[in-house]
Chain A
Amino acid sequence: EVQLVESGGGLVQPGGSLRLSCAASGFTFSSYWMTWVRQAPGKGLEWVANIKEDGSEKYYVDSLKGRFTISRDNAKNSLYLQMNSLRAEDTAVYYCARDIGPGIGDNWGQGTLVTVSS
């Protein structure tokens, strides 16, 4: 069974940093693109970033470029999202997803809440 478990969310002050992790199991992690998608409270979904199977290609939504970095460790079956210079508008639940496309999230974690507030 595919399992994705996010961690690392929490309360952070504006301008601060946070690193999210996603632990994957139940599939060959190194064979899939992986994705982060976020959802602000009461709002819709936003596709944040994608990373290729071997980490050689990474894509970010324009509004986040330079502040967020997606990475992965295939030896640890883990996906990461390093978030710097956080703003109030980054407050959201962050989901990791297995990507069978790229661009098709077929299995999702339960999400981790990031709150940016002073």
Chain B
Amino acid sequence: EIVLTQSPATLSLSPGERATLSCRASQSVSSYLAWYQQKPGQAPRLLIYDASNRATGIPGRFSGSGSGTDFTLTISSLEPEDFAVYYCQQRSNWPYTFGQGTKLEIK
């Protein structure tokens, strides 16, 4: 099973700042990595798939990069609604697995 490790566990930033979230895989997942956002009491929302493709309706301030074992989700300028938990997820090998999440909180 591929283990995804996200860092940091918690990121404290202010609106308008740039956020950089990391996800490292225990073995190569090629570009088969997605990012999801989850707010309290809500279902996850797909942001990025296959490392760098924005999902339908996702604002341009969200971008993804990386391949192999190291991936990054960048939010260029934080909006108040961006404070949430973010998960990475791989679909390279079954079972598909998620990282443990990064909580993005308001500083």
Chain A residues at the B interface, C-beta cutoff of 8 Å: 37, 44-47, 50, 59, 61-62, 95, 100-111
| Residue numbers in A under 8 Å from B46 (CB-CB) | 104-107
> Known interface pairs A45-B89, A47-B89, A62-B95. Does A110 touch B43 (Cβ–Cβ under 8 Å)?
yes
- B57: min CB distance to chain A, Å: 10
Convert B39-73 into 0s and 1s, putting 1 for each residue whose CB lies closer than 8 angstroms to a CB of A: 00011111001100001100000000000000000
| Residue numbers in B under 8 Å from A109 (CB-CB) | 43
- A108: min CB distance to chain B, Å: 4
Please, how many angstroms separate the alpha-carbon atoms of A108 and B45 in the complex? 7
- The one of A45, A104, A110, A111 that contacts B98, using a Cβ cutoff of 8 Å: A45
Could you tell me the dominant secondary structure of chain B's interface residues? loop
20 cross-chain CB contacts under 8 A: A44-B87, A44-B101, A45-B36, A45-B38, A45-B87, A47-B89, A47-B96, A47-B97, A47-B98, A50-B96, A61-B95, A100-B49, A101-B49, A102-B91, A103-B34, A104-B50, A105-B44, A105-B46, A108-B43, A108-B45
| Residue numbers in B under 8 Å from A108 (CB-CB) | 43-45
* Contact in complex: A111, B43 (CB < 8 Å): yes
Residue with the highest number of chain B CB atoms closer than 10 Å, among A95, A101, A105: A105
Taking CB as reference atom, which chain B residue is nearest A2? B56
* Nearest 9 Cβ contacts at the A-B interface: A103-B91, A108-B43, A47-B96, A45-B98, A61-B95, A104-B49, A106-B46, A103-B96, A44-B100
* Contact in complex: A103, B98 (CB < 8 Å): no
* Contact in complex: B94, A59 (CB < 8 Å): yes
| Residue numbers in B under 8 Å from A61 (CB-CB) | 95
Please, how many angstroms separate the alpha-carbon atoms of A109 and B101 in the complex? 20
* Contact in complex: B98, A44 (CB < 8 Å): yes
